[in-house]
Amino acid sequence: MNIKTQNIIRLTLSYVIIFTVIAIILYPVIWIIGSSLNPGNSLSGASMIPEDATLVHYKELFNLEESNYLLWYWNTVKICSITMVVAVTMISLMAYSFSRYRFLGRKYGLMTFLILQMIPNFAALIAIYVLALVTGLLDTHLALILIYVGGLLPMNTWLAKGYFDTIPKELDESARMDGAGHLRIFWQIVLPLAKPILAVVALFSFITPFTDFILAGIILSSDEKFTLAVGLYELVANDFGAEFTKFAAGSVLIAIPISLLFLSLQRYLISGLTAGGTKG
């Protein structure tokens, strides 16, 4: 077998694998979109490409008299946005401190973060619930924001610290010789160079609350305070009134803010994910 034939076979196999993966990814997406366009509430007779497609389920979601979907959407976007801003601010400050300064407890602090990132939030559900109850934060969005921010800190601080380590410290020293203070060096020199890793942290911080169901289901109990995950679950939780097609329509719309954020940060993501692992 000559080299040309080998290259053709290799290229053909590569395309077969790529198209197979694409089909596996797109199949459930097409199904959920098709289901949202099917009439009725059941998925038993639903088809991937409905013949009598309808947008009635989308209209019902936007009808304030029939559904609280828009309120759930607002709650989710609000929680995710605040979580993202607070998490990115705290993580950037902590990662910069661990990367640039040497202080008492630094090593043990990093080790603590390394251990904490191995423990998922839902492993402490009882403790989280009791703490929210004792502090009077049960059934509030503030409780969720605090939990999400706390859960995001360990892993993302390690990730951001690795990236900050790749930024030459000579830049800090040069700026310090010119009279720049610590805050100015951090804000005007280090942060602009750290945009890729901050984009990654921002994306993670936004997606985590958006897709969470367990913590939101434990903390929230009022319908008007539900997030999208909890609210949509209620549509199918009732055996006698399950609205699966409306659930599908709501699920399709969930992808909009995540997709917009991903597209806006896309140019930073690859460099942000890869550069942080080049230095300890």
Question: DSSP 3-state assignment of 74?
Answer: helix
Q: Give which of 60, 161, 183 is closest to 117, Cα–Cα.
A: 161
| Nearest to 154, CA basis, from 214, 105, 102, 201 | 201
Q: Within the chain, which residues score under 50 in pLDDT? A: 276-280
- Give me the pLDDT at residue 238, please: 66
pLDDT at 93: 94
Residue among 217, 186, 222, 7 at smallest CA distance from 99: 186
- Is 245:57 a contact under the CB 8 Å cutoff? yes
Q: What is the pLDDT of residues 233-256, one digit of tens each?
A: 887 776 555 678 888 888 888 888
- Whether the CB-CB separation of 229 and 216 falls below 8 Å is answered with yes
Give the pLDDT confidence score for residue 280 in this predicted structure: 43
pLDDT for res 148? 94
| Neighbour-count burial of 129, counting CB atoms closer than 10 A to its CB (0-12 exposed, 13-18 middle, 19+ buried) | middle
Query: DSSP string spanning 139-204?
Result: T-HHHHHHHHHHHHHHHHHHHHHHHHHTS-HHHHHHHHHTT--HHHHIIIIIHHHTHHHHHHHHHH
Residue ranges of domains in the chain, CATH in brackets: 3-57 (no CATH), 71-275 (1.10.3720.10)
pLDDT tens per residue across span 137-172: 999 999 999 999 998 998 899 889 988 998 888 888
Residue pLDDT, tens place only, 254-267: 888 888 888 888 77
pLDDT at 279: 45
pLDDT in the model for residue 251: 87
